[in-house]
Amino acid sequence: MNGPSTRILELLSLLQDGRVWDGAELARRVGASPRTLRRDLERLRELGYPVESARGPGGGYRLAAGRAMPPLLFTDDEAVAMVVGLRFAALTWAGADTGVADGALGKLERVLPDRLRHRVRAVSASMETGSRPHRKADLGVLRALGGAASGRNHVRFHYTSRGGAETDRRVEPYAQVLFAHRWYLLGWDRDRDDWRTFRADRISDLEVLGTTFAPRPLPPGGAVSFVQDNARLPITRHRATVLFHAPLETVSERLIAEAGELTAVDAGNCRYVSAPDSWEWLAITLAMVGVPYTVEGPPELIEVSRALAGRIARAAGG
């Protein structure tokens, strides 16, 4: 039997999809008469859900945005997706901002049924143990950049490059892209008169200016493609080139190439070009691929690789 509580929950679930529901169809879906439907909708309004009605034959109903957030209903998959998203946010935001995601995550986990709580905790644990430590972006910076990009406002900020150089930048912000567990800003650099990508965790003293700009056509391929290409191989002289003496298919299965480009040279060799944050990290990563290789440059990577090989040999008694 479809009791009042079950019927109202089903009604709320339908209204949350954002569409305008025909009154007759809505009554049929929840198994109620038009009069009962109107009474159930009024109960939802009393509970704080802003249900709007439209005049016309049969009437129409939808759930509008209200001043406060009432309780929401999620399917099992939606609940898991929400928790996973909040867990990932906690991993990519810095400092006190982590508490925002953790607080929302705790509230959701406390009301999850047992069948979902175990699934969610298993996924959350795997995300935590599978993450590589890195600098995290400030939520305030992401929020301000998002507002500036939406409002087409100029921004000004202090930026620290991968080499440690500090500059003041004047930028037209366009999009924020999450790539390889880091947030990047795609913007038009007003001083360099060209497109640039900026890592959000390297931005400080951000100021959203009152002036606006007319939007430009995005780079070919769009924001995501441009940011990914420049994140892998940014505009820098610090690039490494390595020749693997193994087929591309073999190396690609063992090397996470998101920080560079891996291309075939011939049937038995492939070349990897990268611009890493750390020569030490790259030297270790290359050795872990497990195939013969030659470091073609630069001298910094060759020197670090030799030092690493020496430490390993001494540790093994060689």
What pLDDT is stored for residue 213 in this prediction? 95
Cα dihedral sign, 39-40-46-48: negative
pLDDT at position 291, please? Answer: 92
- Between 78 and 155, the higher pLDDT residue: 155
Q: 194-207, pLDDT tens digit by residue?
A: 999 898 889 999 99
202-236 tens-digit pLDDT = 999 999 999 999 999 998 888 888 887 776 555 55
Q: Does 95 score more than 60 pLDDT?
A: no
The reported pLDDT for the residue numbered 129 is 39
What span, in angstroms and rounded, lies between the C-alpha atoms of 137 and 182? 7
CA separation for the pair 171, 154 (Å, rounded): 6
Torsion-angle region of 119 (φ positive above 0: left; ψ -120 to 50: alpha; else: beta): alpha
Continuous H helices in the chain: 4-15, 23-30, 34-46, 76-92, 98-111, 114-129, 139-151, 222-232, 248-252, 279-288, 299-315
What class does CATH assign to 4-63? mainly alpha
86 class by beta-carbon count within 10 Å (0-12 exposed, 13-18 middle, 19+ buried): buried
What's the whole-number mean pLDDT along residues 94-109? Answer: 61
Quick one: fold of 240-315? Alpha-Beta Plaits (3.30.70)
Tell which wins on pLDDT, 66 or 197.
197
How far apart CA 229 and CA 22 sit, in angstroms, is 48
- The fold of the 139-231 domain, in CATH, is SH3 type barrels. (2.30.30)
Mean pLDDT of the chain: 79
Of residues 143 and 242, which shows the higher confidence score? 242
Q: Does residue 90 have a pLDDT over 80?
A: no
User: Following DSSP, what letter does each residue of 194-206 receive, concatenated?
Assistant: EEEEEEGGGEEEE
Question: Taking a C-beta distance cutoff of 8 angstroms, is the pair 141, 203 a contact?
Answer: yes
- Compute the distance between CA of residue 121 and CA of residue 13 in angstroms, rounded to an integer: 25
Where in the chain are the domains? Answer: 4-63, 76-129, 139-231, 240-315
- Buried/exposed code over 153-174 (b: 16+ C-beta within 10 A; e: otherwise): bbbebebeeeeeeeeebebbbb
Confidence of residue 16 (pLDDT cuts 50, 70, 90): confident
Note the pLDDT of residue 285.
Answer: 85
Which residues face 63 on adjacent strands?
Answer: 51
Q: Residue 110: is its pLDDT beyond 90?
A: no
pLDDT tens digits for range 140-195: 888 889 889 989 999 999 998 866 778 999 999 999 888 766 788 999 999 999 99
> Which of 4-18, 123-137, 178-192, 195-209 has the weakest average pLDDT?
123-137
All residues at 6 or more sequence positions from 49 whose CB lies less than 8 Å from its CB, including other chains: 12, 15, 63, 66, 70
Domains 139-231 and 240-315 share a fold: no
Q: What are phi and psi of 158, to 5 degrees?
A: -95, 130
Identity of the residue numbered 192? R
pLDDT tens-digit map of 246-296:
999 888 888 865 567 888 999 999 999 887 767 888 888 888 888 999 999
Residue 115, number of CB atoms within 10 A of its CB: 8
